[in-house]
Amino acid sequence: MMKIVKSLLVVTILLLPFAARGQTVNAASCSATDVQTAINTATAGQTVNIPAGNCNWGSVVVNLAKAITLNGAGQNTTIITLGTTSGLFNITKQTNGVTRIQNLQFVESGNKAVPKAVVVNGPWPTGQPVIFYNVTLTLNNSDFVTLHSPGGLIFSHLTFNAGEWSDTLVQSKDFSTTGILSWTTADSMGTHDTTGFMNTYIEDSVFNGGTWTDCDDACRIVVRHNTGNNSSGFNSHGLDTSNLGLRHYEIYNNSFLYPHATSCSGTQTSIDNINQYIWLRGGTGVIYNNNTDSLKSTCWGDKPEVRMSIRDAEDVRKSVLGSTLACSQVTYPAPHQLGQNNNGSVQTLGVGDFTDPIHFWGNTSNNGVDSSGTWNIEAVASWGWGNPCGFNWNTYFQWGRDAVNTTLGSPTLSSSGGSVDAQGGSAKPGYTAYAYPHPLVSGSSATAPAPPTGLAATVN
């Protein structure tokens, strides 16, 4: 009887697929072909180990459409050099688990392709996040990720080394039906993100030069507990050169530092020509408890720390349906402009939009008064593209209505805009930040909350 049981056990083991016999699959090397073979072998929940090495993925496309972990041998040990075209690493979010990429380094040079070298897509809001953890990025004249989804991407403990100020970590851009769903679904700011799936999170990372994000169509993002050194930080698009514009943002507990400000030789390079740390061109959000060095440089002059624009009113004057309006047809609020939110009552663009001001509070300056003699953290609100309709800035943007800092009250700006100090103020009523660190970054032992209900799960 014992022999029969042992024989059955041996037969059962032999019949099992290789990947099901353990929790790891070992890639033969770090080459694109060997990594793809290991991915194909693995099943959901397993880890693919990528060994040490320096591999050039060139033009070979790697597809990852499973909730597995890609685990390198170390940030400076497993080094992947990406080629100069789009979509060399395609990742699809899954509804049955988190996808992780960790403990390795990506290198790029001369890749400004659109979409970027890495593309993340998949369902929203039910798709569980793709997490980059303990990853080093070394870029030169390159960008890294295009996210074709409103959210569902997490960067944690990232080291970002940029060769140019415009090298960008992630561009969020989705103007498909999913992007429309983002703009017609109630916000997921703070604890409104009940699953942790709905926003993009960038946290506990260090940026040496470059741009953290280009928050574009349908983007919902949280940027927190990061340090930027000579970094242009947060970039965005509104309903202007884009189809929908960013949705909402939370920018808090970050350090925006400018260590090269006093040098005009040696260490001073093009990455230091920073025009602002934060550029807002639409939507709503909260900006609080950040500390900044003044963007005043011997070489590059004096720049505002925060810049706010409403290009859709000023320039192309687009409606949410894409038509261009005559100057006489444009009234406040311009669609998806600064300080606009949506209540999610009807999934039709423009229906349910309401004014929900951007809130500033608790931000501090590391080195006192800016060169104007007035501003500690300068927040500039102004036209930037010529204002061909001759609009009065105060028609479209007012402190106390479209943006709030409770220490300011409601100062009236000139017809072309103006500057205020973004320090001081009190918290946005009813706002509570989402759990920090993100509960899913701790590893495979983390349990994902149940997916949201009541919304269509649209796949791009």
Across residues 310-315, what is the average pLDDT?
82
pLDDT number for residue 29: 98
Among the listed residues 354, 332, 335, the one whose alpha carbon sits nearest the alpha carbon of residue 343: 354
Contact predicate 227/257, CB 8 Å? yes
Q: What percent of the chain has pLDDT over 90?
A: 75
Cα distance between residue 260 and residue 273, in whole Å: 10
pLDDT number for residue 299: 79
Across residues 274-298, what is the average pLDDT?
93
Please count the other Cβ atoms lying within 10 Å of the Cβ belonging to residue 320.
19
Dihedral in degrees, nearest 10, Cα atoms 377, 381, 386, 392: -150
Across residues 147-163, what is the average pLDDT?
97
Contact predicate 384/309, CB 8 Å? yes
Q: Is the pLDDT of residue 201 over 50?
A: yes
pLDDT number for residue 18: 39
pLDDT number for residue 165: 81
Across residues 11-24, what is the average pLDDT?
48
Q: Which of 21-25, 279-283, 331-335 has the lowest mean pLDDT?
A: 21-25
Cα distance between residue 86 and residue 308, in whole Å: 31
SS3 14: helix
Non-local CB neighbours of 117 within 8 Å, separated by 6+ positions: 82, 83, 85, 86, 87, 88, 89, 108, 111, 142, 143, 144
Contact predicate 443/411, CB 8 Å? no
Strands (E), 265-352: 278-280, 284-288, 291-292, 296-297, 301-302, 306-308, 340-342
Cα distance between residue 282 and residue 236, in whole Å: 8
pLDDT number for residue 451: 36
70 phi and psi angles, rounded to 5 deg? -95, 115
* Sign of the CA dihedral running 15, 18, 20, 22: positive
Across residues 233-257, what is the average pLDDT?
94
SS3 364: strand
